[in-house]
Structure 1
Amino acid sequence: MKYPMIAAAVGALLMGPLVAQADTMPHAEHYQTIQQFLEAGKVTGNIRSYYFNQLYGGSPLPNKYAYSLGGMLKVQTAPLYGLSAGVAFYTANSLGANDLNAPGYTHLDALLMGEKDSLNVLGQAYLQYQDRWLKVKAGDLLLHTPWMNPSDAFMIPSTFQAVTVQANTIHNLQLIGIREFRFKNRIQENYYRETLLNQNPIYPDMPDHMDGTLAFGVKAHWQGLKSSAWFYKFYDLANLFYGTVHYGVSGLPYGLKPFADFQYAREWADGAQYAGPVNATVFGGMVGLQTPLGQVFAAYDDIPGRSPFSMGGRTLYNGGFVSPYTQQYSADPLYTSIMDYGLVSSSAAGHAWKFGFLIHPLRQLRIKYSYSMYCTHPYLPNVDANYLDVTYTPGGFWKGLSLRNRLAVDHSNPYANYHGTFIDDRLMLQYAF
């Protein structure tokens, strides 16, 4: 099942001598004994306790909740002539706290760990080669790209069976290539040739034998200017070009650093067009001011209306914009998205505004607040949301410990055809080591 990935990785390794020299990194480590080699490996992980509430005030919809205790344990071997391996095991357990007896799991929110008492997965298992110019990984991986990412907001992240190649050919320039074959979302035990769209009711005829994704990315930065460009080929769904530009000014009095960001996406249908005749555009911007205490910002995104078409009984007016690996999770990179809503997750044409701040009033305390408005009428009701994210990390003897609470209060969020006030509260206690 993984032989195509290993073959691709070998092919990528043969390209190594053709890549120009970049920043110096150790090419190989030499060990006198097997014991020294084993002791040079790394063991990391975390322990998480997570409580999740979704409240529908005054609605016939039942309130939902879920609890889980679990974590992750990862072992990464030391490099031997550039070669290393890694495995990561994840577990989530309800400890009998979740309501699994009510018909249809009425009060259970399955987004946390599915409709089960325990979820145990080998989320990562990969081989890696790295030298001063090149980094290649093949196997079960975490991907960290704008539209394919871990979505690690609950207990277990989304992972991918893929081959990745990262080349540092020129100083401050990074080239990335990805071929993804199978996907495991955060509540699945195994990998499938599917995407999140297979669990989205808008796309009821999505096949269970998708051909994965091909992606290329370029990242560059020079002084205060940073930019990136990505191309994704979601086979038989859509092609997506996505670009960003960031510019920050430093050297001003009192540590002030104004910044501005811009993002643009263009998406069009691919192959069998299982997501419909996609033809969509997204653009947005953000301006802000960084201070020694934190930052304030204002953001805007727009998905223009396009010729509508129907999918799953619903008419899509936004050109059918799809995000196969983030859409239900609101884990997309749009500046105006919050933890449970956004223009992409709503699948609606329109524009959004977001205003907020991120401050550190104390070294151990991080507070983020935003107010956002999603103007999607007449396609969907307009939504406004308050979002508060507070994290406390004591540090010192308690280094690695954190307590985080995220709260969203959405008005007119049309979740499950409900248009009242929706409260989404998530409390996580974590110790990372």
Structure 2
Amino acid sequence: MNKLLYSLLLTATVPLTYADNIESATTTSPSIAVESASQVQLSPPANPNAGFIGRYNYFQNPYNWMMSGGGTLKLTESQIESQNVAQKLFEGGTYNVFGGGTYNQWDSQRYPAGISYGGNIFGQTGQIAGFSAGGVLSVMNPFASLNSQINGGRSYSQYIPTFTQITLSEAFIEYQYQNILNADVGYIAFDNSPWLAGNMYTNMLTVPTTYQGVGVNVYTGGGWLLSALAFNGAQFGAAPGYTGQTNYSSWLQTRNGYSTNSSGTAALGANYATNDGAYNLRLWGYQFDNYGTLIYGDSSINIPVSSHQSFNISAQFGSDQQWFQSVNAISQSTSGGAIQSYVAGAKIGWTYDEFSLNASANTMWGPSGAYGNGAFVSPYTQSLQVDPLYSEAWSYNMVTQGIPGNMYKLGGQFALGSWGTNLIFQPSYVYVASDNTKVDGLQEMDLVLNYPIPQVRGLYLFGVYAQQWYNQQATDVSNNLYQQYEIQSGIYYTW
């Protein structure tokens, strides 16, 4: 059985994204462009945040960061001016198609958590007077469900859609002004917000979480990027429809039938970076209806040692409180207690070319009478393990478990020699210390594989194996405290 489990790790997620392959006839290769520019003048380095907003950044595209099978049309200003309206809309935009099948297993009884197949189509028009439109159509398990034996209930899994689902994961209008302002309204994603789930993860087939609302980003100059967002509904894992449900709604038990839904969320954020990108600061505040107020900040500094190696030092702090709410879903839960929690973390890393090592620690605490004795509440990242805490493991997370304490993590990243630097392995070890005896002493080892294959443009491999060990006081853990906890695998084909 162990051989089977390890072999499943090598069964990888294989997304191949394809975009329109119309290329500008006057496009210059990056190497030539850099060489020519250096011969004319030496420009000061642009601030990293100055490039966050741009005509071809496609902020709402779930697959924008991936190497695509084709490419994205990038026109010169003179070409744009010569286009008619139809050309601006259709030739000036982009699209991606992403599809396939995936499998997830995450308990000690080798019980499948979901099997799914389907695809997503993203499209966005070109700009007219700064305006454009776009969206994502998600079609999951269109002909038959593969989960009748696995999951008898109609569960819209946040990891893998388990039944036939056809929905608009995104549908939006976007306005952009130069590299200064970007605004989106409709069914949208918030990928630069640390305490909201984003719109694409490599271990998920579908778009995991999008929101019904508005988002605005403004680059003010001087390295500052300001963000504001608000939404009144979320859609998880291609579930049909935007509702007030949160990640707590499916399991949180409340007294007297108190609602676990949220009527909306508003948030403000600021990101600062120096021109050389060596120092970065993020500050965010969230007001979650029915789920409290969350304040968060993190900062990092990169210290070059040579052209090959550098050190990085990071720190983070968060506060979660029940401000502006006398009662909410958490305080009215059967476990009771108001939201009152704090979290802090630190990380140090060393990088040498493609090889890196890092060590991190997080602590979470609060008063004994608070919810979970000081548990952090995050209604849109809980259970997804995508919050920004440095020391979270692939499967264990203090926010997801609702258990405060301390976590320590050692991690690394390296490329596998002759396979090329694109084949990246990320092993890590995590240790948990907590007053809760069920998780005190828990250990987890993870191995994550990422391989964007350069020889086959757009082909991407992904795999995970996560392993846990519990301490002897974890009385509800069987199998000699040894847990074969989580395996994810998949195969995708894109045209």
TM-score category of the 2 structures, normalised to the smaller one:
0.7 to 0.9
Q: 1:41 aligns with which of 93, 113, 134?
A: 93
Instruction: Report which of the two has the higher share of strand.
Output: 1
2:313 matched to which residue of 1? 260
Q: 1:245 aligns with which of 299, 305, 314?
A: 299
Q: 2:367 aligns with which of 306, 309, 329?
A: 306
Aligned-residue offset at 1:258: 0.4
Aligned-residue offset at 1:330: 1.6
Whole-Å separation in 1 of the counterparts to 2:360 and 2:486: 22
CA contact (8 A) 2:375 2:399 kept: no
SS of the residue corresponding to residue 344 of structure 1 reads helix
> 1:25/1:338 Cα in 2 relative to 1: closer, same or farther (>3 Å)?
closer
CA contact (8 A) 1:267 1:321 kept: yes
2:26 matched to which residue of 1? none
> 1:363/1:415 Cα in 2 relative to 1: closer, same or farther (>3 Å)?
farther
CA contact (8 A) 2:383 2:400 kept: yes
Q: 1:125 aligns with which of 158, 171, 188?
A: 171
Aligned-residue offset at 1:85: 0.6
Q: 1:326 aligns with which of 370, 376, 381?
A: 381
1:385 pairs with 2:444:
yes
Aligned-residue offset at 1:305: 4.3
CA contact (8 A) 2:249 2:261 kept: no
Whole-Å separation in 2 of the counterparts to 1:238 and 1:406: 33
In the superposition, the TM-score normalised over structure 2's length comes to 0.74
SS of the residue corresponding to residue 199 of structure 1 reads coil
Pairs within 5 Å for 1:339-354: 339-354=394-409
1:294 matched to which residue of 2? 355
> 1:202/1:412 Cα in 2 relative to 1: closer, same or farther (>3 Å)?
farther
1:336 pairs with 2:391:
yes
SS of the residue corresponding to residue 345 of structure 1 reads helix
1:184 pairs with 2:235:
yes
CA contact (8 A) 1:194 1:212 kept: no
Aligned-residue offset at 1:149: 2.2
> 1:393/1:26 Cα in 2 relative to 1: closer, same or farther (>3 Å)?
closer
Q: Higher relative CO (CA 8 A, sep ≥ 6), structure 1 or 2?
A: 2
- Aligned positions, number: 398
2:247 matched to which residue of 1? 196
Q: 2:491 aligns with which of 392, 413, 429?
A: 429
CA contact (8 A) 1:113 1:119 kept: no
> 1:97/1:138 Cα in 2 relative to 1: closer, same or farther (>3 Å)?
closer
2:412 matched to which residue of 1? 357
1:155 matched to which residue of 2? 205
Stretch moving more, 371-380 or 92-101: 92-101
Whole-Å separation in 2 of the counterparts to 1:103 and 1:285: 40
CA contact (8 A) 1:285 1:301 kept: yes
1:77 pairs with 2:125:
yes
Aligned-residue offset at 1:202: 5.4
**Deviation digits for residues 326-372 of structure 1, max 9, x if unmatched?**
11112211111123221111111210000010112322301101000
CA contact (8 A) 1:329 1:340 kept: no
CA contact (8 A) 1:305 1:350 kept: no
CA contact (8 A) 2:315 2:346 kept: yes
In the superposition, the TM-score normalised over structure 1's length comes to 0.84
> 1:206/1:339 Cα in 2 relative to 1: closer, same or farther (>3 Å)?
farther
> 1:141/1:100 Cα in 2 relative to 1: closer, same or farther (>3 Å)?
same
Could you list the runs of 5+ residues in structure 2 that have no partner in the other structure?
Answer: 1-49, 57-76, 332-337
1:86 matched to which residue of 2? 134
> 1:239/1:31 Cα in 2 relative to 1: closer, same or farther (>3 Å)?
farther
SS of the residue corresponding to residue 36 of structure 1 reads helix
Letter of the structure 2 residue corresponding to residue 138 of structure 1: V
Pairs within 5 Å for 1:218-229: 218-222=270-274, 223=276, 224-229=278-283
**Deviation digits for residues 40-60 of structure 1, max 9, x if unmatched?**
221113223212122415xxx
Q: 2:268 aligns with which of 176, 201, 216?
A: 216
Stretch moving more, 126-135 or 62-71: 62-71
1:140 matched to which residue of 2? 187
Whole-Å separation in 1 of the counterparts to 2:194 and 2:330: 20
> 1:128/1:416 Cα in 2 relative to 1: closer, same or farther (>3 Å)?
farther
Stretch moving more, 407-416 or 217-226: 407-416
Aligned-residue offset at 1:65: 4.1
Q: What is the root-mean-square deviation of aligned Cα atoms in Å?
A: 2.9
1:6 matched to which residue of 2? none
Aligned-residue offset at 1:407: 1.0
> 1:65/1:240 Cα in 2 relative to 1: closer, same or farther (>3 Å)?
closer
Whole-Å separation in 2 of the counterparts to 1:415 and 1:429: 36
> 1:25/1:43 Cα in 2 relative to 1: closer, same or farther (>3 Å)?
closer
Whole-Å separation in 2 of the counterparts to 1:102 and 1:247: 47
Aligned-residue offset at 1:35: 3.6
CA contact (8 A) 2:167 2:238 kept: no
> 1:47/1:345 Cα in 2 relative to 1: closer, same or farther (>3 Å)?
same
1:408 matched to which residue of 2? 466
> 1:210/1:254 Cα in 2 relative to 1: closer, same or farther (>3 Å)?
closer
SS of the residue corresponding to residue 249 of structure 2 reads helix
Aligned-residue offset at 1:97: 7.2
CA contact (8 A) 1:147 1:325 kept: yes
- Give identity over the alignment, percent: 20
Aligned-residue offset at 1:142: 1.2
Stretch moving more, 28-37 or 135-144: 28-37
Letter of the structure 1 residue corresponding to residue 309 of structure 2: L
Aligned-residue offset at 1:309: 4.6
CA contact (8 A) 2:122 2:135 kept: yes
1:367 matched to which residue of 2? 425
SS of the residue corresponding to residue 248 of structure 2 reads helix
CA contact (8 A) 1:92 1:113 kept: no
CA contact (8 A) 2:212 2:234 kept: yes
Whole-Å separation in 1 of the counterparts to 2:263 and 2:314: 34
